[in-house]
Amino acid sequence: MKKLGALLFEAIKSLFKKPVTSDYPKKRRPIHDSVAGMIAFEQDKCIGCSICVRNCPANAIKITKVPDKEKVFSCELSLANCIFCSQCVFTCPKKALHTTDKFELAQIDKSKLTVKLEEVAPYKPETQQKPDENKTEKVNS
Amino acid sequence: MPKKLVIPIGPQHPALKEPASFDVTLQGEKAENILVKLGYNHRGIEKACETKPYLHDSYIIERVCGICSHSHSTCFLQAVEEIANLQVPMRAKYIRSIIGEMERIHSHLLWLGVAAHEIGFDTLLMYTWRDREIVMDLLALLTGNRVNYAVNVLGGVKKDITEEDKAQILKAVDALEERTKYYIQVCQEELTLIKRLSHVGYLSHDDAVKMGAVGPTGRASSITRDTRKDDPYAAYEEVDFKVISDDHCDVYGRALVRVGELMETYSIIRQLLKKLPATPLSVPAPRIIPAGEALSRYEAPRGEDCHYVKANGTDKPERVKLRAPTLANVQAVSAMLKKGYLADVTIVIAAIDPCFSCTDRMIVAVNDGSDMTWGQLREQSINWYKKNRGVDFTKVKLKIS
Ligand code: SF4
Ligand code: SF4
């Protein structure tokens, strides 16, 4: 049956529903653990093969040898370049890289966008699924 | 004879989400002639692909379009996999199809909202976009990203679908199906929608065939063509679905085709999930791809997407060429708008679900800086063909104004 105002009933019903949008950043919607955010790094596992560097499509990741230490490597990530594609995580032969659900990574100071992963995002399996709010500096606070 | 009024719509216009330009010549309130001008959003992606290895190219190609990103990356990788003769495992093909169908849901719901917005029916825009969040969340759950999912790799996929994911997908699909049924009902009942969209942007079946319209635009002019059926790729051979078409030939028909397709999409996802085979997710892919060429076709939400890849035996392609669905459909816009009202221009353009960044082309005229007339250009081409190909075109009559 063709009529006017077919959406009217739905519109009136919606008036009595809670808003769908959340009051971000005061309130946060829960996000999935699988969100591809910041990369975390397990320094003990890395063998310095640089496959991640070669496969990164955005030139975002760098592996360097830590001076004076035998077989210890440091991983530098440029958050400005990284497109969060998880290609490095997928191809790391030693599973030394992981994705985390940290996604609030904006910075006012550009230099803070290049981070040493073993310092800011060491991989700890038990704490990994919680976004670490102290570590990422919030833009508006 | 009074001078004709030409109204430029675009390149910057509130109704256009991307820059494109349409010059509408008016006769009173009615459009007499439309000149479509593309090229404001050219990003040189094809050329960029030639300078990077295949693995990186799949990520560049994914960024051709923010909405059908998976379509482009799958289409490109299918071509490369064919050249390299890689046997993609069945599970990967299923997952590619499932993500592809989810992309169709989010694209069609987005379109319904945009179309409603263009006719001033913003209530429908709000509701469709609210419900679209269900599928966006699902994509975030499965792939980690809301757009540019990055699930594809050469030789398969990166992300798996677990048993828990399956349950969540089925629950979300049920919710979406219920909402879509409601939207179908709205489309069939709501008088404002029917009156505003019927007989607007008319494209006859013959015109649609002549202009090469693809996807929902073609199917709304009763072209029952769908790459998923005609040339099944990924896992579409294993599922049963109908190709939705309509004979309204107008914007209303295009809306009906899209909502109808959504219902088929839900059924496809359920069938795929039920049959999801237990194979590995990917096969190891070489960095160097042997010389060869391949053309791959994919039914993107907006229509058939074609990617041509030529490999020269190195780790970088020699040529990548893509034909996004909008390029096939944009030709038909001028036919749709002929004799239509100026006020219909925006909804008619929106009805093909244009994506100009996918489509934009550029022609570079290489000369010594001096302008050439058409006559000079013709003379130069005649001489070129005489010298290089041994063909004489002097006798071909051509009227150049
Ligand atoms: S691929 Fe893995 S093991 Fe190799 S350098 Fe990168 S993080 Fe280290
Ligand atoms: S997630 Fe992608 S872009 Fe970011 S460092 Fe890894 S490979 Fe590079």
ipTM: 0.84
Q: What's the CA gap between A66 and B126, in Å, rounded?
A: 53
3-state class percentages of chain A: helix first, strand second, coil last, to nearest 5: 20, 15, 65
| CA distances to A27, B11, B47, B308 from B38, in Å | 43, 9, 18, 21
Mutate which of A52, A53, A61 to test ligand 2's pocket (most atoms within 8 Å of Cβ)? Answer: A61
Q: What's the CA gap between B259 and B253, in Å, rounded?
A: 10
Q: pLDDT at position B10, please?
A: 79
If you measure CA to CA, which chain B residue comes closest to A91?
B158
Chain B residues in contact with A38 (beta carbon < 8 A)? none
Distance from CA of A71 to the nearest CA of B (A): 27
Instruction: Evaluate whether residue A56 is within a structural domain.
Output: yes
Instruction: Catalogue the E-assigned strands of B114-227.
Output: 152-153, 156-157
Pick the residue whose CA is nearest to atom 2 on ligand 2. Answer: A85
Q: pLDDT at position B33, please?
A: 86
User: What's the total number of domains in chain A?
Assistant: 1
In ligand 1, the atom with minimum distance to the C-alpha of A88 is 1
Long-range CB pairs of B199-202 (<8 Å, 24+ gap) are B199/B250, B200/B250, B200/B251, B200/B252, B200/B340, B200/B344, B200/B347, B200/B348, B201/B250, B201/B251, B201/B254, B201/B336, B201/B337, B201/B340, B201/B344, B201/B347, B201/B348, B201/B351, B202/B249, B202/B250, B202/B336, B202/B340
In ligand 1, the atom with minimum distance to the C-alpha of A97 is 7
Which residues form the domain of A54?
42-130
Instruction: Evaluate whether residue A88 is within a structural domain.
Output: yes
Tokens encoding B279: 């194979």
> Which CATH number goes with the domain that contains A93?
3.30.70.3270
Q: pLDDT at position B367, please?
A: 63
Instruction: Evaluate whether residue A54 is within a structural domain.
Output: yes
Task: Report which secondary-structure segment, H or E, holds B265.
Answer: helix B251-275
> Would an 8 Å CB–CB cutoff place A90 in contact with chain B?
yes
Q: Which of B63, B128, B158, B164 to probe the A interface (max A CBs under 10 A)?
A: B158
A72 C-alpha vs ligand 1 centroid, how far in Å?
Answer: 11
Instruction: Evaluate whether residue A28 is within a structural domain.
Output: no
If you measure CA to CA, which chain A residue comes closest to B194?
A2
Q: pLDDT at position A72, please?
A: 92
Q: Which of A1, A86, A92 to probe the B interface (max B CBs under 10 A)?
A: A86
A74 C-alpha vs ligand 1 centroid, how far in Å?
Answer: 10
In ligand 2, the atom with minimum distance to the C-alpha of B150 is 2
Phi and psi angles of residue B263, each rounded to the nearest 5 degrees, phi first: -60, -40
Chain B residues in contact with A83 (beta carbon < 8 A)? 59, 148, 150
In ligand 2, the atom with minimum distance to the C-alpha of A99 is 1
> Would an 8 Å CB–CB cutoff place A103 in contact with chain B?
no
Per-residue pLDDT of chain B (401 residues; tens, 9 = 90+): 567 889 998 788 877 788 888 899 998 888 888 888 888 888 889 999 999 999 999 999 999 998 999 999 999 999 999 999 999 999 999 999 999 999 999 999 999 999 999 999 999 999 999 999 999 999 999 999 988 999 999 999 999 999 999 999 999 999 999 999 999 999 999 998 999 999 999 999 999 999 999 999 999 999 999 999 999 999 999 999 999 999 999 999 999 999 999 999 999 999 999 999 999 999 999 999 999 999 999 999 999 999 999 999 999 999 999 999 999 998 898 889 888 898 998 899 999 998 888 888 766 666 666 677 878 888 888 998 899 888 888 887 766 54
Is A83's C-beta closer than 6 angstroms to any atom of ligand 1?
no
Is A61's C-beta closer than 6 angstroms to any atom of ligand 2?
yes
Pairing of strands B303-311, B317-323: antiparallel
pTM for the whole thing? 0.88
Q: pLDDT at position B11, please?
A: 86
Q: pLDDT at position A133, please?
A: 43
CB atoms within 10 A of CB B371: 7
Ligand nearest to the CA of A86: 2
Q: What is the pLDDT of residues A120-138, one digit of tens each?
A: 888 876 554 444 444 333 3
If you measure CA to CA, which chain A residue comes closest to B186?
A6
Q: pLDDT at position B130, please?
A: 93
Cβ contact B137–A32 (<8 Å) = yes
Instruction: Evaluate whether residue A3 is within a structural domain.
Output: no
Cβ contact B189–A87 (<8 Å) = no
Is A79's C-beta closer than 6 angstroms to any atom of ligand 2?
no
In this complex, which of A3, A55, A85 lies closest to B191 when CB atoms are compared?
A3
Chain A and chain B share a number of CB contacts under 8 A equal to 74
Is A48's C-beta closer than 6 angstroms to any atom of ligand 1?
yes
CB atoms within 10 A of CB B349: 25
Domains recognised in chain B with CATH numbers: 45-331 (1.10.645.10)
Is A85's C-beta closer than 6 angstroms to any atom of ligand 2?
yes
Instruction: Evaluate whether residue A68 is within a structural domain.
Output: yes
Residue keyed to tokens 């309509």: B246
Instruction: Evaluate whether residue A31 is within a structural domain.
Output: no
CB atoms within 10 A of CB A15: 6
Q: Which of B141, B149, B184, B194 to probe the A interface (max A CBs under 10 A)?
A: B141
Is A56's C-beta closer than 6 angstroms to any atom of ligand 2?
yes
Section A105-128 average pLDDT: 83
Q: What's the CA gap between B168 and A21, in Å, rounded?
A: 21
> Would an 8 Å CB–CB cutoff place A84 in contact with chain B?
yes
Q: What's the CA gap between B354 and B345, in Å, rounded?
A: 13
If you measure CA to CA, which chain B residue comes closest to A10?
B127
A96 C-alpha vs ligand 1 centroid, how far in Å?
Answer: 6
Is A60's C-beta closer than 6 angstroms to any atom of ligand 2?
yes
Q: What's the CA gap between B332 and B349, in Å, rounded?
A: 10
Pick the residue whose CA is nearest to atom 1 on ligand 1. Answer: A92
> Would an 8 Å CB–CB cutoff place A7 in contact with chain B?
yes
Q: What's the CA gap between B142 and B211, in Å, rounded?
A: 38
Cβ contact A1–B141 (<8 Å) = no
